[in-house]
Amino acid sequence: MEKSKGSVFTNGIIKENPVLVLVLGTCPTLATSTSVETGLGMGLAATAVLVCSNIVISLIRRFIPDKVRIPCFITVIAGFVTIVQMLLQAYVQPLYQALGLYLPLIVVNCIILGRAEMFASRNGPLDSALDGLGMGCGFTLTLCIMGTIREIIGTGAFLAGDWFGLAEGFKGIPLQGAFIPGMTIMTMVPGGFFAYAIVMAAVHYFTKDKKKIRKDFACAQCAAAGNCGTDDKVSDGMEGKEDEK
């Protein structure tokens, strides 16, 4: 089944948005969407890792024995995470500090391992790169949407921050007097859960007529799901893999 390059790319942004439809990568989504700035930074870092690891895994997919594929994928991903980590530390110090612990934790972001398992290990490098780019854009877009909501309600300003040192002293677009003062709770932990719930409910509301399969929790996309036994989709996927060989 040959899919067009465009649909491989847009698949990740809309139809299978990793955060809102597949419910993957929830930890970084909640933790780094306190403002558009950190959300965008996290999204771009994860996208870089996702694209690179997808390409490499797709290139070496014929040489990896099936039994040890998950450790192999993790090693490749961890390598790229380390590279991104060192690059950010060297050139974009403020972002490195803002992301903190969540930067090394990109390694265990289920989006990346999930795409390696579900897509890159079965498709060519070009398609895998596009898939990674699409998924990464979907992830970044969602982070920015949530960041916008949380930043506007939480601080009363929009696009504030010094943008990784590029726009120092930029105070953002103040909206304070316009409607409400900042509600700090939205930038804190409960606000993250609230914003996520609202955005996801909105997606459900707007897609309900289109008879899309609404997934519950995305165990199907998780690499370890074969052992979990919660979703029969996984076993289908595994069988598909056998057939291909």
Partner 1 sequence: MSHIGALVIIIISMVLVDNYPLAQFLGICPFLGVSSDLDSAKGMGIAVTFVMVLATAVTWPIQRLLLDPIGIGYLQTVVFILIIAALVQFVEMFLKKSIPGLYKSLGIFLPLITTNCAVLGVCISVIDDELKLVDSLFTAAGAGLGFWFALWIMAGVRSRLKDQSRIPEPFRGVPIVLITAAILSLAFMGFGGMFQ
Note the residues at the interface with partner 1 (CB under 8 A). 23-24, 26-27, 30-31, 70-71, 74-75, 78-79, 81-82, 85-86, 101, 104-105, 107-110, 113, 185, 188-194, 196-198, 200-202, 204-205, 208, 214, 216-217, 219, 222-224, 226-230
Output 157 or 200, the one with its CB closest to partner 1. 200
Of 60 and 74, nearer to partner 1 (C-beta) is: 74
Q: How far is the CB of 60 from partner 1 (least distance, A)?
A: 17
Burial label for 163, CB within 10 Å (0-12, 13-18, 19+), is: middle
Considering the complex, what minimum distance in angstroms separates the CB of residue 79 from partner 1?
Answer: 6
Rg (CA), the chain: 19
Instruction: Return all residues near 6 (Cβ < 8 A) that are at least 6 apart.
Output: none
User: For partner 1, which is the closer residue by CB, 39 or 191?
Assistant: 191
DSSP assignment letter at 106 = G
Decide whether 173 or 197 has the Cβ nearer to partner 1.
197
Which pair of structure tokens corresponds to residue 163?
A: 């943008």
Task: Collect all residues with Cβ–Cβ distance below 8 Å to 45 and sequence separation of at least 6.
Answer: 84, 88, 95, 99, 103, 106
For residues 24, 25, 30, 35, the Cα torsion angle rounded to the nearest 10 degrees is: -120
**CB of residue 124 to partner 1, shortest distance in Å:** 26
Closest contact distance (angstroms) between CB of 221 and partner 1 is 11
Which CB, 104 or 182, lies closer to partner 1? 104
Record the tokens describing residue 82, joined without a space. 């380390």
